[in-house]
Amino acid sequence: MRNKLRSFLTTLGMIFGVGAVIATVAIGEGARSAVEAAFASMGTNLLVVLPGTTTSGGARGGSGTQPTLTWDDLKAIRSELPSVRYAVAVLRSGSQVLSEDANWTTQVQGTEPDFFEIRNWPMLLGTRFTQSDVDAGTKVVVLGATVADKLFGPNANPVGQLVRIRNIPFQVVAVAGRKGQSPFGQDYDDAVFIPLTTYMAKVQGGLQKFIAGQILITGVTAARAETDVTALLRDRHNLRGGDDDFSIRNLAEVASAQEESSRTVSLLLAIVAGVSLLVGGIGIMNIMLVSVTERTREIGTRMAIGARGMDILMQFLVEAVTLATLGGLLGIAFGVLTARWMTSLFHWPVLFRADVILVSVVFSALVGVVFGLYPAQKASRLDPIEALRFE
């Protein structure tokens, strides 16, 4: 306490330790919230059901190559499972789309209005197609924002205009709101959406009994819906002992796997931070031991004029805690500055959490208690006579 430079050097360990915690947690939390936002834009509690695979000559074709999902399966999922909130088929293929004076190759998706509910996807302009459009198979289209830009130029309003898909004119009824990229880098807005029936009649052709695409499901909870859909499909496909002839991707699981990996990173960082706090604490213990030795006579004097062991203990403990807490507070400032600097340097998103900062302060104080206790105890147990005699 008496020597400012020495006190500062002592707290450096704490400053770096706490600073590292604050900066890394801020960066980690920033990344996590960015990933969370990305998954939320895909839709929450989302399941994707894919048909099974073909196997020819030992080479397995991968998910979705063997049509196994039927329209009756979809109806059954909708009607029989209370754990499923929405279920729609999505059929897609790449195709060129033309406006009056531009063209763009994009993904044409045939689906039903609930699709936009599942994806939690509002319209930017116009009104999306309805169930009656699906029932009647009208030739209307919802453009993704990227496609609208490419065909009509940015900031244009293409609602009411015509576009051609496979040489068939479709009327633009809406432009979907901008959603950005998926967690895997795919542009959600580079697609157009037409009623499912229209897609099947005008785009797909061929076998219509099976769903040549995927089923998107929103469950009340993803896990529950996944169990129920699996059981239903296995029952309907009569798969008593055999493997599933379909696969379900639980995006909540993907998200939680992402979170798991970020947790692992966080844990590693926490260990690093813990080690540096340990080093900081040892620094404080070291300087407190020096201080106790230097001030032996003072301790003896204090004891002679009536300080009890507890008084001396508290004096040194308070000093250690003050040092550690001060280090912690400086460390927080250091960590915040470092994180901000990282943001400006690499454009990483950072998120400061009040609870983390509070915990850091409490933890620093705790480090002071833990590492100050031994020197303080040593001081409090000195023999006053020997302490007074100490040169």
Query: Which residues does residue 241 pair with via DSSP β-bridges, in sequence order?
Result: none
Least gap, CB of 303 to another protein (angstroms): 7
Q: Does 384 bind another protein (CB under 8 A)?
A: yes
Least gap, CB of 300 to another protein (angstroms): 8
Q: Does 308 bind another protein (CB under 8 A)?
A: yes
d(C-alpha 234, C-alpha 228), whole Å: 10
Nearer to another protein, 158 or 300 (CB): 300
d(C-alpha 391, C-alpha 387), whole Å: 9
d(C-alpha 261, C-alpha 18), whole Å: 23
Least gap, CB of 40 to another protein (angstroms): 57
Among 307, 320, 323, 350, binds another protein (CB under 8 A): 307
Q: What are phi and psi of 157, to 5 degrees?
A: -110, 100
Consecutive H or E run containing 107: strand 103-111
Nearer to another protein, 165 or 323 (CB): 323
Q: Which one of the spans 149-157, 268-276, 363-371, 382-390 is the region binding another protein (CB under 8 A)?
A: 382-390
Helix (H, G, I), strand (E, B) or coil at 380: helix
The residue written with tokens 């089923």 in the block is: 215
Q: Which of residues 309-328 bind another protein (CB under 8 A)?
A: 309-311
Least Cα distance to 76 among 54, 53, 52, 49 occurs for 49
> Binding-site residue total for another protein (CB under 8 A)?
18
Residue pair 124/145 in contact by the 8 Å Cβ criterion: yes
Query: Which residues does residue 192 pair with via DSSP β-bridges, in sequence order?
Result: 108, 143
Q: Does 194 bind another protein (CB under 8 A)?
A: no
Least gap, CB of 6 to another protein (angstroms): 14
Q: Does 379 bind another protein (CB under 8 A)?
A: no
Q: Which of residues 261-300 bind another protein (CB under 8 A)?
A: 297-298, 300
Binding site for another protein (CB under 8 A): 2, 297-298, 300-311, 384-385, 388
